[in-house]
Amino acid sequence: MLQIFHNPRTRSFRIVWLAEEMGLPYEIRTETLGKPSGALLAASPSGKLPAVLDGDTAMSESTAIMHYLTQKYGPTSLALAPHNARYADYVQFLIFGEASMAAPLNPVIRTLFSAPEDQKQNFTVEATKTIFRLRVKDVEHQLGKGDYMAGDFSAADISVGWSLGFGAVLGLDADYPPLVRAYFSRLQARPAFKAAAAK
C-alpha cells in the first residue's frame, strides 16, 4: 500500500488530496516538523516532506509524486494525456504551482517564523511576496479560459491550489483577485480536499 509521510502544514497535503481524488488506498505516516522519523529519513534523506513509499519506490518531490501516481495508477481524468488540447496548460500549471509559486516562498516562511525579530521584515521577504503576487496574476489570467487550470479539475489544480493556501498562511490571500478567490473557494469545497484536510 502507498505510504505517505505527512504533516498537514506541508506539501504532503498535495499527495493526500490527490490520493483522495483518485480513490487510491494509502496509509498516513504522521511526521513532526523538524523531527523526522527514521522511516522518513530512509525514504527522504534530507527529511523533507512530502515523501512516499510505494513498494520499493521512494520519492520526495511533490509534483513528481503527483505525476508518478497519476501515471502508475491511471488512467485518470486528473492527468491530461498529450493528445488533449489542454495538455500544455496541464503540464505548465502542474509544475508552475510548485516551481513558480510555492518554492520562492520557502525562505519567506523560514524568515518570518524563525528569524530574530529585527530580521523578520527585510527586502528579500518583501520582494519575494511581490513575486508571488505577480505569479497569482498568471493564475488569474489562466482562469479567464475557464474554471480550472486546464479545462476540468486536474492535478494541476491541486498543485496551484496548495500554493494559494501557502500564500494564505502568509496573509497574501488578501491580494487575491476575485477570480482567484472564487477558484480557491471551489477547490476547498471539493470533498477530497475536505477529506485530506481532516487527516
Tens digits of residue pLDDT in 161-190 = 999 999 999 999 999 999 999 999 999 999
2 forms bridges with which residues in the sheet?
26
Crossing angle of the two packed helices 87-96 and 62-72, in degrees rounded to 10: 140
How far apart, in whole angstroms, are the C-alpha atoms of residue 34 and residue 60? 16
Give per-residue pLDDT as tens, 100-133: 999 999 988 888 778 888 887 888 889 999 999 9
CATH number of the 87-197 domain: 1.20.1050.10
Classify strands 26-30 and 2-6 as parallel, antiparallel or unpaired: parallel
- 20-55 pLDDT, tens digit per residue, is 999 999 999 999 999 999 999 999 999 999 999 999
DSSP character at residue 104: G
pTM: 0.96
Residue 3 has a pLDDT of 98
CA 39, CA 15: separation in Å to the nearest integer? 18
Domain boundaries, the chain: 2-72, 87-197
Pairing of β 51-54 and β 26-30 = unpaired
Which CATH superfamily includes the segment(s) 2-72?
Glutaredoxin (3.40.30.10)
Q: Please, what is the end-to-end C-alpha distance for the chain in angstroms?
A: 17
Distance between CA atoms of 112 and 116, rounded to whole angstroms?
Answer: 9
Q: How far is CA 188 from the centre of its chain?
A: 13
CB contact set of 137 (below 8 Å; sequence gap of 6+): 177
- Mapped onto helix, strand or coil, the DSSP state of residue 8 is coil
pLDDT score for 122: 85
Q: Confidence class of residue 98 from pLDDT cuts 50, 70 and 90?
A: very high
